[in-house]
Structure 1
Amino acid sequence: MSTLHLVPGTPDAVLRALTGVLDGSGPPFAPVPADLAAAERVRRAAAPDRPLEDDCAVVLTTSGSSGEPKGVLLSRDALVASAEATHERLGGPGQWLLPMKPYFVGGLQILTRSVVAGQSPVLLQDSFSEAAATMTGSRRYTAMVPTQLARYLETDLDALRSFDAIIIGGAATPAALKTRAAEAGVTAIPAYGMTETGSGCVYAGQPLTGTSVDLDDCRILIKGSTLFSGYRLQPELTAEVLRDGWFRTQDRGELVDGQLKVIGRIDDVVISGGVNVTLPTVQARLLEHADVKDAVVLGVPDAEWGTRVVAYVVGEPSLAELRDFVAEVLPRTWAPREVHHLDALPMLASGKVDRQALL
């Protein structure tokens, strides 16, 4: 079995290590962020002192937005398959701008696509517009999380318009943000995927070539060439989620006219006062309020209700106003029973909301 190497999670270091595993000249590796707490989580998940499973080029850790991170084993074939399928969907290889951390799968795959395309990636330093202006490829791509897109729509609109395609992933893209981008002439493509699927594998509801999607009841199942090989040193968990070649995700969805619509996580349906409440639906409704800039809705254990629906909101509307607003289109029993007003939602480096910081 191979030995796993830890490398600094900087773009240059990850690009060198990635080039090595893709051309066969370098050892399997795990990128480690500079933040000491995050680095320790990566080391625990990657376990570099233990023998490495077969068919692994890179070990990435999940974001840990809702629990302890897991080490995800990604093979060279899975990384390349994801890159090639992405280029096919977008209209051909191109030059990529990296505005994300390369120790998460979204950032790593920007570098993989660059290596596969034979083009040098452009690294974001301070200014998104200045970085975009240095690009020389005939086709120009980037990827980012919804929060970045919302920010750049305000500050770097011309630069966004200069890209042939911008992949939006890492978190659900609010409908209002999709509309803003389209009306501004920005080609933003929402992607669904995760570390276990080698980054986004479904673009705008349509699976990439080599990927199949199915449902077990409402649970999203994914099969294809971009799937991970397993969880690091967790064969039981691997066997639980990888069955007959299908990855059993923790997400709920539905197929509408052949397109996948992601509804939310399996555990995003809570029972509050004996009523099933779909938290992402409540969250989506809150985001439609004119005075709500951002929001997340969580279920919190409660002695009276079983689970209390709590909203964390960037904006000033009162609890009573938001409850009435939700009840206009959803059952009043779904309305949040508690609201916390924040200046900004706490975010992980992956671009996901840090739910653990809110609870």
Structure 2
Amino acid sequence: MRLEPPASEDPRDVLRALRAAVLGAGPAVALGGSDLPNEVPPGTAAVVTTSGSTGVPKSVVLSRNALISSAYATAARIGEGSWLLAVPATYVAGVQVMVRALLADHEPAVVAGPFRPEPFAAAALGMASHADGVSVPRFTSLVPAQLQRLLDAAEHDDAVAQALRSFEAILIGGQALAPAVSERAEAAGARIVRTYGSSETSGGCVYDGVPLEGVGMAIVDGEVRLSGPTLADGYLGDPERTASVFPTDADGTRWYRTGDGGEIRDGVLHVTGRLDNVIVSGGVNVSLDRVEAAVRGIPGLESAVVVPILDADWGQGSAVVVPGIAASRERALLTEVRDVVGAAVGAPARPARVVAIEELPTLSSGKPDRASLRRALGEGGPKPRD
């Protein structure tokens, strides 16, 4: 089967290519990658290439069946309606927004260009609320940084506030959502659904900790594993990585090894963080995801990012990077941060520095560019897995 890129990365060009690949007999769509082979396995709809925050490129092969299964499972959980595309079209979250819209036979609304609250609100409020006299629910998908910008704007912009309330559900994925931001969203009347998944699972496949229909969850050696019809076929041109990340158990069930730690309590998944995002500080293993979760619970630090640094005394330590604060506040914040983290995670986990920064560097997906921050502060932490 042929693999071709869309005419451009413009969302409308990507939508046309996906329409042909998912609903028709068109070629599979190459998204985000270059120098890929022209041929892919039969049934492929898209190949999504991304390096995420680790900087390690991977080209994920997604079949029509996987994308369609994911879209239908989402509709079964939250409902069907019209979708607003506000995340990059070449990432799996954007792909799924468009596939859900195509299967619901509603042309998606599109927010093009750099994300800003005002165009988002205009696009949201411009979406049709009825078709043939029947109410059409509205949905969208965002990353936490986008949601926070909308909540900030909604405090003084009635149109943004109204737009947030207009959606039947707003899917939030890509990274953990700080509890304080979730509480602000609820207070603003926004209906938030936290999603968990990746390109390898056709996007989010666990909603608010509960798997979508057909999706299985398991914890093996502390690692979250997922199964079901939404799984990717593997990594293009990399059979060894595919075999390692997508093992098949003795019962013939194929699983995806997420690389995340977690536990399942009463059927609800609780993710504790990346298994490889751990430093050794003074001989003690410290999860930087747990440190970041504790820091983000401090009012005003909901957007903070924790990165590893070298430490002359302890070998490895961590720094808390905080956007939008004055450098003069670093010392006072460090005292507060160390107290909070020490109580929540333990004394060895207390960060060594607070670093004020005007604005966080981000990837095109909207996630913080952690690799860039690590380089800026000195590579002192865990190396990303392949």
Q: Same fold (TM over 0.5)?
A: yes
Is 1:48 equivalent to 2:37 in the alignment? yes
Change (3 A) 1:239 1:340: same
Return the alpha-carbon distance in structure 2 between the equivalents of residues 139 and 152 of structure 1: 20
Give the structure 1 partner of residue 150 of structure 2: 152
Distance 2:167 2:83 in 1: 10
Post-superposition offset of 1:21: 1.0
1:221/1:249 contact within 8 Å kept: yes
1:195-210 → structure 2 map (5 Å cutoff): 195-210=199-214
Output the CA distance in 1 between the equivalents of 2:29 and 2:180: 39
- Write the deviation string for residues 13-56 of structure 1: whole angstroms up to 9, x where unpaired: 11111110112321111134xxxxxxxxx204xx135x323432
Distance 1:118 1:210 in 2: 24
Q: Which runs of 5+ in 2 are unaligned?
A: 113-117, 130-135, 154-159, 249-253, 375-386
**Distance change (3 Å), C-alpha of 1:329 and 1:6:** closer
| Partner of residue 190 from structure 1, selected from 181, 185, 194 | 194
Q: Determine helix, strand or coil for the equivalent of 1:267.
A: coil
Aligned residues of 1:5 and 1:48 also touching (Cα < 8 A): no
**Which residue among 52, 70, 74 is the counterpart of 1:82?**
70
User: Counterparts of 1:199 and 1:339 in 2: how far apart (Å)?
Assistant: 33
Q: Hey, what does 1:120 align to over in structure 2?
A: 107
One-letter code of the match for 1:10?
D
Shift of 1:172: 1.0
1:301 Cα deviation after fit: 4.5
Once the two structures are TM-superposed, the CA of residue 177 in structure 1 deviates from its matched residue by 1.0
TM-score (norm 1): 0.92
In structure 2, distance between residues paired with 1:175 and 1:134: 30
1:75-104 per-position Cα deviation (integer Å, ceiling 9, x unaligned): 00001001000011003x100001111000
Superposed displacement of residue 203, structure 1: 0.4
Q: CA RMSD in A?
A: 1.6
The one of 314, 322, 325 equivalent to 1:313 is 322
Secondary structure in 1 aligned to 2:22? helix
Does the CA-based 8 Å contact 2:145-2:303 persist in structure 1?
no
CA shift, 1:338, in A, is 2.4
Q: Which residue of 2 aligns with 1:37?
A: none
Give the Å deviation of 1:217.
2.2
TM-score, with length taken from structure 2: 0.86
Q: In terms of mean alpha carbon deviation, does 164-173 or 307-316 score higher?
A: 307-316
Q: Percent of aligned pairs with the same residue?
A: 41
Tell me whether 328-337 or 224-233 shows the greater mean CA deviation.
328-337
Q: 1:177 aligns with which of 178, 181, 184?
A: 181
Deviates more, 1:118-127 or 1:285-294: 285-294
Q: Alignment partner of 1:243: what SS? A: coil
Task: Describe the superposition over 1:147-178 as per-residue Cα deviations: whole angstroms up to 9, x where unpaired.
Answer: 11111122212111011111001111111111
Decide whether the 8 Å contact of 2:224 with 2:262 is kept in 1.
yes
In 2, Cα distance between the equivalents of 1:135 and 1:265?
Answer: 38
Query: Are the aligned partners of 1:143 and 1:166 in contact in 2 as well (CA < 8 Å)?
Result: yes
Q: Go from structure 1 to structure 2 and tell me whether the alpha carbon gap of 1:71 and 1:171 turns closer, same or farther (over 3 Å shift).
A: same
Distance 2:301 2:196 in 1: 25
Aligned counterpart, 1:35: none
Cα deviation for residue 310 of structure 1 reads: 2.1
What residue in structure 2 maps to residue 6 of structure 1? 5
Which structure 1 residue ranges, 5 or more long, are not aligned?
A: 33-41
1:264 to 2:273 alignment: yes
1:216-239 CA distance string (max 9 Å, x none): 021000000111001010000000
The equivalent of 1:38 in structure 2 is none
SS in 2 for 1:132: helix
Tell me the distance in 1 between the aligned counterparts of 2:293 and 2:261: 15
1:348 paired residue number: 363
Pairing partner for 1:280 from 281, 289, 302:
289
Aligned AA for 1:320?
T
CA distance in 2, matches of 1:328, 1:344: 29
Report how far residue 195 of structure 1 moved: 0.5
SS in 2 for 1:87: helix
1:234-271 per-residue CA deviation (whole Å, 9 max, x = no partner) reads 00000001111011111111112210011111112221
Taking the TM superposition and a 5 Å limit, the aligned residue runs for 1:224-303 are: 224-244=228-248, 245-302=254-311
Q: Does the CA contact (< 8 Å) of 1:75 and 1:229 recur in 2?
A: yes
The answer as to whether partners of 2:178 and 2:297 remain within 8 angstroms in 1 is no
Who is 2:48 aligned against?
Answer: 60
The separation in 1 between residues aligned to 2:368 and 2:221, in whole angstroms, is 27
The answer to whether the Cα contact below 8 Å between 2:86 and 2:111 also exists between their aligned partners in 1 is yes
Moved beyond 4 Å, runs of 4+ = 301-304
Question: Partner of 1:57: helix, strand, or coil?
Answer: strand
Q: 1:11 to 1:291 in 2, by over 3 A?
A: closer
Residue 282 of structure 1, CA deviation: 1.1
- Displacement of 1:325: 3.3
Contact 1:171 1:351 (8 Å CA) reproduced: no
Matched residues in 1 for 2:337 and 2:179: separation? 19
Q: How many matched pairs?
A: 345
Contact 1:6 1:48 in 2 (8 A): no
- 2:384 is matched with none
Picking from 136, 150, 163, the partner of 2:128 is: 136
- Which stretch of the first structure deviates more once superposed, 5-14 or 140-149? 5-14
